[in-house]
Structure 1
Amino acid sequence: MAMGCRGLFCVVALATVLGAAFGLGEDMDRPLFAPPGSAIRVTESDPGLKKVLQFAQERYNLGSNAMHLRRVSRLVSATKQLVKGIRYTITVEMSNTQCKKSSMLRTCDFYPELQQLKTEVCVFEIWDVPWQSKSNLLKQKCQPKAVPEETTAVKEASPDQPLEVSVELLGLFKDFMVKYDKVYNTQEEADRRLQIFHENVKTAAKLQSLDQGSAEYGVTKFSDLTEDEFRSTYLNPLLSQWTLQRPMKLAPSARSPAPASWDWRDHGAVSPVKNQGMCGSCWAFSVTGNIEGQWFLKNGTLQSLSEQELVDCDGLDQACRGGLPSNAYEAIENLGGLELETDYSYTGHKQRCDFTSRKVAAYINSSVELSKDENEIAAWLAENGPISVALNAFAMQFYRKGVSHPFKIFCNPWMIDHAVLLVGYGDRKGIPFWAIKNSWGEDYGEQGYYNLYRGSNACGINRMASSAVVN
């Protein structure tokens, strides 16, 4: 659908184009403007995408020693971003054709036999400057297309089977409804949720085939929600709005280097996994988890503190519609502290503030922002306790276990939308990871925990690390 250009939108759009054309930019990974960011998804109908797909295909074949030409057999996903030109990030499947490189045929058909296709999954980053008729290949990474194992991945229904007669899919959906106690009020709603479930099964399978870690993705309690429903109900859009963040003092560096591994769960500094419910209050759970750890380190006693107090009484944030850890620390200082969970219990929706100063169980003196270097974050964590962090949670909707390492295209580090608690780090069969306490209940992930690859700033995990200070 064509859209007109009016008012402020035109000004911003024009400024973006001019900034790109005349080199008014920032580093190649960062959006030029505040979130939701300049990286946007594009479809196959995008004229520029057709051009860069052809360019990627040509560069791939030039650098390949294979006898036969390869073509793009499927576009998995694509985004574009204005950065002194247009930067495309595309994920595609490349498959063998029946044409030899020396041939001059007009058309090159794919092999009909699956085993001869030898499909690879490739990620290309291409910088296109249309006004200079110039394209540059910034990055190319390919790997054989994985066939998910029966035990770890969800199968897609056969494309030749109509949705309504896929016995496997219906059985999977029925098991999902029973396991997570799902009830739909009408047949129409059940049919709609089945369709969404089907699309999510395919998304989980895509994540599985492209994951660079050891994660298993599949059916979770969120598998009947659209991406928009999941984001609006459980995530926190305010986290990526950098202009709203309150500046914090930088934390002093750790006194010692990070040990090889550390986990505060083994040292009694982490309370049981909680559940934020259908409320975007992850910011409150992240901050209270951090303060619980800080108080444990000061007096040796672990107390479960109240998130509901922040949902109700933090006037700087937006309760179930999101918030920022930096604001939450300031609100706790202004209130005078946090009550216990047992004194101010969680309801999962905003209500009248019922804070009582005489029931304060923990207070803070200030808060600090941590370095964005993952090694320094690890050293600080081992020395000072669990850390409030935030990340892009796209892959988390379908995560089941293992170490998650999504491609960057699925997990833009500048579009973080979920606050969590970093409790430890280590190594699993050669894969370094962060141990992350989530707030979606113990029936999520690994008993409520999510493990994310450590060492590449995956999903923006290093962007918003912070802690309360208790003197």
Structure 2
Amino acid sequence: MEPWLRLLRLLGLLGLLGLLPGSAPVPAQPRAVGAQAWEPPSPELLGPARFALETYNRAAGTRAVLGAVRGRVRRAGKGSLYSLEAILEEQPCRDPTVCQLPVSKKTLLCSFEVLDEPGRRMLLRRDCSPVDTKVTGAEIAGGCGQPKSDFSQGSALISCLFQLYPDDRDETFSSVLPLLNKDPLPRDFPVKVTSAFKKFVSTYNRTYETKEEAQWRMSVFASNLVRAQKIQALDRGTAQYGVTKFSDLTEEEFRTIYLNPLLKEELGKKMQLAKFTGDSAPPEWDWRNKGAVTKVKDQGMCGSCWAFSVTGNVEGQWFLKRGTLLSLSEQELVDCDKVDKACLGGLPSNAYSAIKNLGGLETEEDYSYQGHMQACNFSAEKAKVYINDSVELSRSEQKLAAWLAQNGPISVAINAFGMQFYRHGISHPLRPLCSPWLIDHAVLLVGYGNRSDVPFWAIKNSWGTNWGEEGYYYLHRGSGSCGVNAMASSAVVN
């Protein structure tokens, strides 16, 4: 069989498993087409819902009205994230100069994510479609004769796949399917979920506004346990996946809050390519042991990973050139870099330019992190660190290792597939799952080495020390895993 055909069919498998981006099933209550079947919304949801409606109307050029709304709210610090479902009644267009075709009134079902913080409100996501075109789970399942939810059982899924592809027992499928040949859900799964969820709530100090919200979060938690197990089965490294502090978030919520969609657009400032000296890389290297890396930080509910990646790099560069390790301000970049989008994402290349144009970086102590955008309060007199330029680095991982050992930690961007549930070990996802073309998270390479003959990159993340290996992520080295070599860069300090 042609390799491209095997890849297409593997992608089909991964889609059925719910492991491709955006394909994970989200626990939900049965939807009613008519708004009259919904419970009256709480007053707290109406403000964010009306804001989402106004923003939608402006963008779409429509005159939709709000029919009904329901949703959930997640609070952190001074802000709240609203996950809303709304019925919109889109009014017919009556202006012949605008309408190209007669348009009848239609009903839309919309999903909105609204971030509400002191002094600002933002629509982070909108997804609307006519309610009468929704595809049911049974239709998605195709000819397998069972609802999509049954696919959480591995043997049932495998049986179904071989019904759909009876001639497809080639090396691609034979290398993947045996990993799922056991039903992942034991008989006592509900009891174990309840116990695990209670431990999760206690461990991460979770509080929920209502009983309904707690029940919803437990259903998301249960779905995520199954998803983490599928990721575990398909990982080719030594990583362990399971319960983390993000286990009560849907995939969409996690991506919206913590990741950085701007990275895959690569529209930042073009940098010169760094010159490679030709030196070979030592067998292993770790800048943490040499005093060039500050403690792990926490970006909070803000997609500011780009700022943490860049400050981590500059901290290392300053240490190597000036001999002093300073913890630098990410908040300065969130507030003062007007090219990037603060908590909605940014690019390291733009951040280097902002540092140079502003006149340097203040320390964390002088300009502390708040986790949301505020007025720029940079003071040139307080700047402690300066950069002269920035450079793009080679896509060769061997050259990256040599450059790191000689010059310090490197800012990189990766596809964050599986990181929502990563606990420890060396991650090595299948390439279709962790495409290098879909990078969405900026991090810091601080070292490399081998564990039991498995080569790895040591990566400093910005989700706090209560994630991963005390805040660090270990990714397979030498295979371009998750695009780790696709956007490597560094500041230049003379």
Q: Same fold (TM over 0.5)?
A: yes
Give 1:95 shift.
Answer: 9.9
RMSD between aligned alpha carbons? 3.2
Give 1:357 shift.
Answer: 0.3
Give 1:412 shift.
Answer: 1.4
Shift of the 449–254 alpha-carbon distance from structure 1 to 2, 3 Å rule, reads farther
Query: 1:411 and 2:434 equivalent?
Result: yes
1:108-257 matches, within 5 Å, as 123=172, 141-142=175-176, 144-145=178-179, 157-158=185-186, 166-242=190-266, 244-257=267-280
Selected match of 2:335 from 312, 330, 333: 312
Shift of the 212–184 alpha-carbon distance from structure 1 to 2, 3 Å rule, reads same
Identify the residue that residue 344 of structure 1 maps to in structure 2.
367
Give 1:145 shift.
Answer: 2.0
Structure 2: gaps spanning 5 or more residues: 1-10, 12-19, 25-136, 145-149
Identify the residue that residue 101 of structure 1 maps to in structure 2.
none
User: Partners in 1 of 2:379 and 2:268 — Cα distance?
Assistant: 28
Shift of the 228–390 alpha-carbon distance from structure 1 to 2, 3 Å rule, reads same
User: Partners in 2 of 1:417 and 1:123 — Cα distance?
Assistant: 27
Deviations 1:27-62 (A, max 9, x none): xx9xxxxxxxx9986999679x98xx9xxxxxxxxx
Selected match of 1:261 from 258, 265, 284: 284
Give 1:167 shift.
Answer: 1.3
Classify the secondary structure of the residue corresponding to 1:222: coil
User: Partners in 1 of 2:441 and 2:195 — Cα distance?
Assistant: 32
1:406 maps to a residue whose letter is P
Shift of the 170–75 alpha-carbon distance from structure 1 to 2, 3 Å rule, reads closer
Q: In 1, are the aligned partners of 2:22 and 2:252 still within 8 Å (CA)?
A: no
User: Partners in 1 of 2:471 and 2:22 — Cα distance?
Assistant: 31
Question: Between Structure 1 and Structure 2, how many residues are aligned?
Answer: 353
Q: In 2, are the aligned partners of 1:157 and 1:169 still within 8 Å (CA)?
A: no
Shift of the 143–199 alpha-carbon distance from structure 1 to 2, 3 Å rule, reads closer
Selected match of 1:380 from 382, 386, 403: 403
Classify the secondary structure of the residue corresponding to 1:204: helix
Identify the residue that residue 45 of structure 2 maps to in structure 1.
none
Q: In 1, are the aligned partners of 2:22 and 2:251 still within 8 Å (CA)?
A: no
Query: 1:323 and 2:346 equivalent?
Result: yes
User: Partners in 1 of 2:362 and 2:170 — Cα distance?
Assistant: 51
Query: 1:277 and 2:300 equivalent?
Result: yes
Give 1:247 shift.
Answer: 1.1
Deviations 1:113-172 (A, max 9, x none): xxxxxxx99745xxxxxxxxxxxxxxx744742789xxxxxx9543x66x7xx2111000
Identify the residue that residue 492 of structure 2 maps to in structure 1.
469
User: Partners in 2 of 1:378 and 1:226 — Cα distance?
Assistant: 35
User: Partners in 2 of 1:327 and 1:219 — Cα distance?
Assistant: 35
| TM-score, normalised via structure 2 length | 0.66
Deviations 1:288-312 (A, max 9, x none): 0000000000021110000000000
User: Partners in 2 of 1:216 and 1:39 — Cα distance?
Assistant: 20
Identify the residue that residue 448 of structure 2 maps to in structure 1.
425
User: Partners in 2 of 1:188 and 1:274 — Cα distance?
Assistant: 33
Structure 1: gaps spanning 5 or more residues: 1-28, 30-37, 54-73, 77-91, 98-105, 110-119, 125-139, 149-154
2:179 maps to a residue whose letter is K
Identify the residue that residue 388 of structure 2 maps to in structure 1.
365
Give 1:394 shift.
Answer: 1.8
Deviations 1:424-445 (A, max 9, x none): 0000001000000000000010
User: Partners in 2 of 1:400 and 1:429 — Cα distance?
Assistant: 18
1:386 maps to a residue whose letter is P
Identify the residue that residue 297 of structure 1 maps to in structure 2.
320
1:349 maps to a residue whose letter is H
Identify the residue that residue 434 of structure 1 maps to in structure 2.
457
Deviations 1:398-448 (A, max 9, x none): 000000111122211100000000000000001000000000000010000
Selected match of 2:420 from 397, 403, 406: 397
Q: In 2, are the aligned partners of 1:94 and 1:122 still within 8 Å (CA)?
A: no
Q: In 2, are the aligned partners of 1:436 and 1:450 still within 8 Å (CA)?
A: yes
| TM-score, normalised via structure 1 length | 0.69
Q: In 2, are the aligned partners of 1:333 and 1:365 still within 8 Å (CA)?
A: yes
User: Partners in 1 of 2:22 and 2:208 — Cα distance?
Assistant: 34
Deviations 1:234-275 (A, max 9, x none): 000000012x12211001114411111101001110000000
Give 1:96 shift.
Answer: 12
Deviations 1:72-102 (A, max 9, x none): xx979xxxxxxxxxxxxxxx747999xxxxx
User: Partners in 2 of 1:258 and 1:143 — Cα distance?
Assistant: 38
Shift of the 94–361 alpha-carbon distance from structure 1 to 2, 3 Å rule, reads farther
Selected match of 1:443 from 447, 462, 466: 466
Classify the secondary structure of the residue corresponding to 2:473: strand
User: Partners in 2 of 1:262 and 1:205 — Cα distance?
Assistant: 32
Query: 1:355 and 2:378 equivalent?
Result: yes
Shift of the 215–177 alpha-carbon distance from structure 1 to 2, 3 Å rule, reads same
2:295 maps to a residue whose letter is P
Identify the residue that residue 88 of structure 1 maps to in structure 2.
none
Shift of the 96–407 alpha-carbon distance from structure 1 to 2, 3 Å rule, reads closer
2:297 maps to a residue whose letter is K
